[in-house]
Amino acid sequence: MAGYRSAEAKLQEGIRLFGLKRWEAAVQEFLKIDTGIFSANENTELAYYLGLSYMKLQRFDDALIYLEQVVTDSQEPLRIYQCRLTLAYVYLMTNRVKLAEFELERLSKSGFESVQLYTTLGYTAWTQQRYEEAVEYYEKALDLDNNNTTAMNGLGYILADTDMDPARGLRFCRRAVEKAPQNAAYLDSLGWAHYKSGDTRESRIWLRRAFDLAPHNADIRAHMRLLVGERS
């Protein structure tokens, strides 16, 4: 009994640290637990928090092990839904796009609907150059939440970058920046949308702000180099 209480205390302490965004400390606490003492449900709970903690630390291969365990063993539909979305994100970050798409399609076919699902589907379609499909997903996300900045930025960037509708794309990018003015990715999209609309002066202003916030971002650096090259 004492051993079980100790394991339960470690689990609760790990969850507390997770809530404080102390991901590394949470992982260390979780790994101290003797899983042989726990029930199947408790081990699934542990796997859930370990998977999310590793994902936050960008230790993606470790995250996959535990997230897949939750998807397989959990009896909670909402938790499975969350873990499938997280798995899709991890697969995207590790360039396993088809696996990401598989998880997302499973969710979509099961009837779940959310802004996060549609924005992730939109991003997945964009990475495969299925631009019209990506636009449809981002528009579905905005139908659910008209103020979602991820969907605004994704939709705006695609419309401008592909020349589908640069003016409309610019409007969405501007709205995203108005709601999140310190987001470097959104600033970059707005700068790029101005560039695609033919306004290099405004483009330079916004791309410079993005670069100042995230000077090592590859996309921002590429956009800046192109703009500077055109001025030389």
For residue range 121-155, list pLDDT tens digits in order.
Answer: 999 999 999 999 999 999 999 999 999 999 999 99
Average pLDDT over every residue of 12-37 = 94
Secondary structure letter of residue 58 according to DSSP: T
Q: 3-state class of 57 per DSSP?
A: coil
pLDDT at 112: 81
For range 83-89, the mean pLDDT: 91
In this prediction, residue 232 has a pLDDT band, given cuts at 50, 70 and 90, of very low
CA atoms within 13 A on the CB side of 195: 25
pLDDT at 230 over 70: no
- pLDDT of residue 37 exceeding 90, the answer is no
Element holding 7 (H helix, E strand): helix 2-19
The letter for the amino acid at 32 is: K
pLDDT digits (tens, 9 = 90+) for 73-82: 988 888 988 9
17, pLDDT greater than 70? yes
Whether pLDDT at 64 is above 90: yes
Instruction: Label residues 135-171 b or e (16+ Cβ within 10 Å = b).
Output: bbbbebbbeebeebbbbbbbbbbbbbbbeebbeebbb
- Say if residues 29 and 10 touch (Cβ distance below 8 Å): yes
CA distance 105 to 122: 12
Q: Which of 71, 9, 69, 63 is nearest to 43 (CA)?
A: 69
Neighbours of 227 (CB within 10 A): 18
Q: Using alpha carbons, select from 55, 49, 1, 52 the residue that is nearest to residue 29.
A: 49
**Alpha-carbon separation of residue 30 from 57, 62, 228 (angstroms):** 15, 13, 49
